[in-house]
A and B are shown apart, each in its own frame.
Chain A
């Protein structure tokens, strides 16, 4: 218990350090920044956006992994990011500009797309009465193909500049000017993670098996619906602004489980903080690696995530249901 609290405190310190340090790094040195508005207009909002996106995607990944009892699922591999991306693309293409209670139509469309995709995958798993990793991954792949082809179709129907914008956005990135994008993502990540942190005990029990959770007094149906909604809220909110950044939701919870165990009262805050830190670090690297040009951070996470995914696949039998 004390060791876990120590690890959590360490991750929190590292996250705070990363968020403070990242804006100071870049080709324009900090001393020159006083004369140009790079720091507050670009680097600070970008760091905050990266933190929120990483935190939201990681926590959503952790929640999906617990509920499907499968360490390989995450928003990207389940096809939830694809659904969100299609929702957002459709909203952009249709030229929707309205907002509901300050939430943009693009974010709402992304949320609806994410939810639709998740419901389809879940319904398929229930129909086959199996949460086997292989089945879920295949369902996720099918879902992704389906939504990507819809996105490609939308892109094909767009003019050249729209088409390029969609393509660039699909690579995933957190570059932004000013705090508007941060404020667009914040309510989604805040509300989603608040729900998940409050339900970490229920998440433990669901990870141990739905039958056991039910026999211990968890109202599995409503709790599951609430947790799915909370995670898709975060995925939708993040993907609408940053595009589908892949594999963060698989890498971060996995590393955190190795550091702190699966007890979600510790794992959930650890994943939230570590996920934020991870994407801030990746984005800083993506800014510096081919400076003065920049790499979209989604490309970098995918480059890291691919081998990581394969390593996880090799370590376990795909047909088995073990979950660590």
Chain B
């Protein structure tokens, strides 16, 4: 049996005098697509940053691919986990290609120049995200969707098994959303990547994710198959709000509308 990609046991994290994550226990099987949902301020981004060890100092256990987080070097951890932060409002004074090139860092030695395999990974990632034509454009001159895809290209070039994304489709128009989700879907199907994506779009979670973990006030309030989101008072427990459940006229899947 393979180790879960991520397993969290009784994990809590304080930031200042506030406990932002409270006694979390869950695990994410390798190769799954998991949506991380919950109201604003529930601790979703904080949880991603704790998994990435950008935020430190929590109590309890986190294991990545079966190995305790603390026994990874930052370098080795980067070969397991790649991160796609929110693209909106994020400025970086680099070209798209320079940005993607940086993601090869954990695969190269200190001071080592780019090897041919690094170059081909960079090209491949740019191609998979449809960003080949943008490689010499400045990150700051891109539209929201293009910037998101450039950050996604960088994460793919990092060649880690697990991809952590912070609202990858927020602020994007519908066609850009479909683009980004298409890239993620291919990485998930064809490379077997484990995907953990924070989202506020419940229909996106229902359609793409197999599992959903919901946080509220720093604690897990739901952890199960995404299909179970629509049952009972699950959504009410998460959001304190009522939803209407309809049926998609084409696919027959459930569709959620906030009341």
Residue positions of A touching B, CB distance < 8 A: 198, 201, 204-205, 207-212, 214-220, 257, 261-263, 321-324
Contact = CB atoms under 8 A, between A and B. Distances in A.
Contact of B158 (A216, A219, A261, A262): A216
Contact of B93 (A205, A211, A218, A262): A262
Given A209-B85, A214-B54, A214-B74, A201 B105 contact: yes
7 contacts: A205-B102, A208-B92, A209-B92, A215-B52, A216-B102, A218-B105, A323-B92
Contact of B90 (A209, A261, A263): A209
A208 B52 contact: no
A185 B77 CA distance: 40
Nearest to A215: B83
B200 interface: no
B103 interface: yes
A218 B85 contact: no
A261 B97 CA distance: 13
A257 B94 CA distance: 11
B98 A204 contact: yes
Contacts of B95: 261
Contacts of A215: 52, 54, 78, 81-83
A206 to B, nearest CB: 10
Contacts of B111: 198, 201
Nearest to A257: B93
Nearest to A211: B54
Given A205-B105, A216-B103, A324-B140, A211 B49 contact: yes
Contacts of B75: 217, 219
Contact of B102 (A198, A208, A210): A208
Given A204-B102, A324-B140, A212 B74 contact: no
Contacts of A217: 74-79, 105-106
A261 B98 CA distance: 11
B93 A323 contact: yes
A312 to B, nearest CB: 14
A81 B76 CA distance: 38
Given A204-B102, A208-B99, A211-B85, A218 B74 contact: yes
Given A209-B92, A217-B78, A263 B106 contact: no
Interface of B: 49, 52-54, 73-79, 81-83, 85, 90-95, 98-99, 102-103, 105-106, 111, 138, 140, 158
A322 B140 contact: yes
A214 B95 CA distance: 20
B75 to A, nearest CB: 4
B153 to A, nearest CB: 13
A201 to B, nearest CB: 7
Contacts of B92: 207-209, 323
Contacts of A263: 94, 98
A201 B111 CA distance: 8
Contacts of A323: 91-93
Contacts of A210: 54
B94 A262 contact: yes
A219 B74 contact: yes
A216 B75 CA distance: 7
5 smallest beta-carbon distances between A and B, as pairs: A217-B78, A215-B83, A217-B106, A262-B93, A217-B75
A113 to B, nearest CB: 31
Contacts of A207: 92-94
A216 B91 contact: no
A223 B74 CA distance: 12
A201 B140 contact: no
Most buried by B among A204, A215, A219, A321: A215
A141 B54 CA distance: 30
Contacts of B105: 201, 205, 216-218
Nearest to A217: B78
Contacts of A209: 85, 90, 92
B26 to A, nearest CB: 21
